[in-house]
Amino acid sequence: MKQLSKVLRLAQPTRLPRLGTRQARLLQTQAAIYTESGDPQAVVRVVERNLPDVPGSNQVLVRMLAAPVNPSDLNQIEGTYPVKGTFDKLTTSTDTIYAAVGGNEGVGEVIRVGDGVHGLQVGDWVVPQRAGQFGTWCTHTMTNASSLSAVPADWRSGLDPLDVACLKVNPCTAYRLLKDFAALNPGDYVIQNGANSGVGRAVIQLARYWGIRTVNVVRERPQLDQLHQELISLGADIVVSDKQLATDDIKQQLKSLDAPVRLGFNCVGGRATLQMTKFISAGGTLVSYGGMSRQPVTMPTSLLLFKNISACGFWMNRWYNQSFTSSRLEDEKHQMWREILGLIQQKKFVTQPLVTSNWHSQMDIGKAQEAVSGAVAWGAGSKHAFEFTQ
C-alpha cells in the first residue's frame, strides 16, 4: 500500500558485470549526507559520490533498492540518538569530505563481490546487520560483507523491495512486543497508543493473526472516523482517541472487557500514557518503545501497589545486538523475518502507507535535494521512503 507524492525518477546504472582483476573505474552515485549534527532539513544534502566499481577484499558493492525514513534516523542526524552515524572520508565529484550517509534501514542488491567474501553472491538482496554501520540513503554503497545479512530468495519472492526495506524496525518491534513480555492467550487484550504508527499498525495485524485483541489509542484529529475505519480494516478491535479515552462511556467499556488487558505498548509518554496505563489489568506490564512527546512516563503508586503493574522498555536495536552473541536469538531473528515476510506474501500483512520518492542519478542535484529535504522534515505528516530504480 503506497501513497505516491512527487515522484522523482532516478534511473540507476545497469548491473555491472564481473570483470576479473582489472583496475577499478569510478562509479558515479548519489547519496544524502551530513557533515555535522543538526536539523535534518538544514544539514542533510545530496551529493554525487564516486565509488570504485571493483570491491576490495571482503567487500561487496551494493545497489540500493529502497530505504525508509524513520524517526530514529532523524534523531541520529540531530545527534540525540544513542547510535551515531558512521563518519568517514567521502569522495564527491568536486572534493573529499568527512561525512556520514543518512538512513539505517533498507534493502539493496549485491552487484559485485570482492575476494574473500563467503555467504554472499551477486543478485542477493541484503539488509544492514546493525544500525550505524553504513547509511542507506544512497544509490550505491561499498561495505564489508560482514555488515550485511542476506534475505533468502524464497523469503522475499514476489515482494516489493519496500516491504523488505521496512522489515527490520517496525514490524519486528511489534513482533517482539507481542512475543517477549507476556504469555498471551487467544482472546487476551493489549492496549497501545500511537496505534496508527508503523509499529502500531504492525501490532494490530500480528495480534489479529495470533488471535490477540487490541485496544488502540490515537491522537484526536479531524479525520478520526476515517482513521478508525482504516485501523479496523487492519484488524483492530477497539479504536479510540486520547480525548475519548477520558470519557465515562469509554472507561466503562474498557473496564467491562471479557478478557484481561495483559500488556500496554507506549510510544508517546506524558499524560496520555498515564491515562492508558490505568486500563492494564492487574499484574500486567507497560512496555515503552518510544517517546514521541518527549515527556516522561509517570505512574501513580496505586498502580504499582494495588494492581502490581510493572513497567519496562524495549529497544529493537539492543535486541539485534544481543542476537549476534546468542545462537538462540539468531535463530529467533531468522524465524521472525521469515514469518513476517511470509505473512506479506500471503496478503495477511501490509507495510504502512508510504510517500515514496524515486531517485535518478542524472537529475538536477537541486531537485534531488528538494525531495530529500521534504522527506526528512519532522512535520512531513506521512512516513517517507526512497525507491532506487533502474
| Cell numbers that stand for 279 in this block | 486500563
Say if residues 356 and 387 touch (Cβ distance below 8 Å).
Answer: yes
Q: What number of CA atoms fall less than 13 Å from residue 193's CA on the CB side? A: 31
Active-site residue identified among 34, 81, 175, 289: 81
Report the C-alpha gap between 142 and 161 in whole angstroms.
Answer: 19
Q: Hey, how many other C-beta atoms are within 10 angstroms of the C-beta on 326?
A: 11
Which residues are registered as beta bridge partners of 88?
99
Report the C-alpha gap between 42 and 327 in whole angstroms.
Answer: 42
Cβ neighbours for 346, distance < 8 A, ≥ 6 positions apart: none
| Cell numbers that stand for 247 in this block | 470519557
Say if residues 33 and 44 touch (Cβ distance below 8 Å).
Answer: yes
Strand order in the sheet with 96-101: 45-52, 26-34, 96-101, 88-91
φ, ψ of residue 148 in degrees (nearest 5) = -120, 150
Residue 98 among the catalytic residues: no
Q: What number of CA atoms fall less than 13 Å from residue 234's CA on the CB side? A: 31
| Cell numbers that stand for 127 in this block | 539488509
The residue written with cell numbers 506474501 in the block is 345
Q: What number of CA atoms fall less than 13 Å from residue 371's CA on the CB side? A: 26
241 DSSP 8-state letter? E
| Cell numbers that stand for 217 in this block | 489509542
Say if residues 287 and 191 touch (Cβ distance below 8 Å).
Answer: no
Say if residues 228 and 253 touch (Cβ distance below 8 Å).
Answer: no
146 DSSP 8-state letter? G
What residues are labeled active site?
A: 81
